[in-house]
A and B are shown apart, each in its own frame.
Chain A
Amino acid sequence: MTSAILATCAMIAAIVVSATAGDILTASAMRQVGDLDLIRQRSGILGAAGAVVTNGRFGVGVICLALSFFSLLFAFSHRDLSLIGPAATSLTFVTNALAARFFLHENVDRRRWTAALFVCVGVALLAF
């Protein structure tokens, strides 16, 4: 019983950690690249795509997002969708807010915390 709970927690943690790393790395990459609307006006859509694809952080971020996707598929094959889906998605909102505060130095004020927690609770409630 305890080992089953631990395994579920480990699966959810793997999804949340890899998804958060992927989101933070891609967001950081886009901050490095700059406003895509301006780049597209200057260099066209291929120039904008090239600026994104050649960014190293973007590549690592996409790998992390792919890992998160496969972790999710793995978890779905062992546990119920109604448990894994909302738990992983809602927790990712909170971990993203924390990681954005510390790694991206975003101004996560009371308004953004409230929004993240409301969406987190809302997504969890969608499971019922």
Chain B
Amino acid sequence: MTFRRYLVLGVITITASCGDTFLSRGMKSLGPVSLAHPAQLIHAIFSPWVASGIVLLIGFFASYLTALSWADLTYVLPASSLGYVIMTLLAKFWLHEHVSPLRWLGVVFITAGVGFVTRGPSYTDHSHHRGVTSTDPALAAVAETAPEEVRR
């Protein structure tokens, strides 16, 4: 894992939590949307908060896909769950909401989970073949040509 890749995980965390918060803020300011008037939803897309939220969530999805191209799903999901912690901190210090002790305990659990997973390897190397790893290009090429069942 390079610094740039940790940065991508950070972008996932921040864009997801801020995108959701912006959408929520925008929809609350517009009021309830009736199914009888679906055009209100189109109007909602052009409100500044909702539009900013959508841009952030597009950024989230692009960086999430980038992370999945070089890291395992079981690494990316827990590693990027710090967004819940950010949302709780925003709720406490920006929106001045009451955060119960159990929620703080939840923040501690999530932070510990993120700590566990980020200290381990980020990617399962599927090119192993009879003890050969892909760090040796010549031997990795042999592993790549082996049948899928053997590689596992």
Contact = CB atoms under 8 A, between A and B. Distances in A.
Interface of A: 23-24, 26-27, 30-31, 33-37, 52, 93, 96-97, 100-101, 104-109, 111-112, 114-119, 121-126, 128
B126 A105 contact: yes
Given A26-B68, A27-B68, A119-B81, A100 B74 contact: yes
Contact of A34 (B69, B105, B106, B119): B69
Counting chain B residues whose Cβ lies within 8 A of the other chain, the interface size class is: 35 or more
B120 interface: yes
Contact of A93 (B70, B78, B121, B126): B78
28 contacts: A26-B68, A27-B73, A93-B77, A93-B78, A93-B81, A96-B73, A97-B74, A100-B73, A105-B124, A105-B152, A107-B72, A111-B116, A111-B117, A112-B78, A114-B113, A116-B77, A118-B113, A119-B78, A119-B113, A121-B109, A122-B106, A122-B107, A122-B111, A123-B84, A123-B110, A126-B88, A126-B106, A128-B102
A25 B46 CA distance: 31
A116 B113 contact: yes
A111 B119 contact: yes
B65 A26 contact: yes
A30 B112 contact: no
Contacts of A96: 73-74, 77
A80 B126 CA distance: 43
Given A27-B68, A118-B116, A125-B106, 12 more contacts: A23-B77, A30-B65, A37-B66, A37-B70, A104-B73, A105-B152, A112-B75, A115-B113, A118-B113, A121-B109, A125-B102, A126-B84
Contact of A119 (B110, B119, B120): B110
Interface of B: 65-66, 68-70, 72-75, 77-78, 81, 84, 88, 100, 102-103, 105-114, 116-117, 119-121, 124, 126, 152
A-B residue pairs, 5 tightest by C-beta = A125-B106, A122-B109, A118-B113, A122-B110, A115-B117
Q: Chain A contact residues: over half helix, strand or loop, or mixed?
A: helix
B109 A119 contact: yes
Nearest to A45: B62
Contact of B106 (A107, A109, A123): A123
Which of A35, A114, A115, A121 has its CB near the most chain B CB atoms (within 10 A)? A115
A112 B117 contact: yes
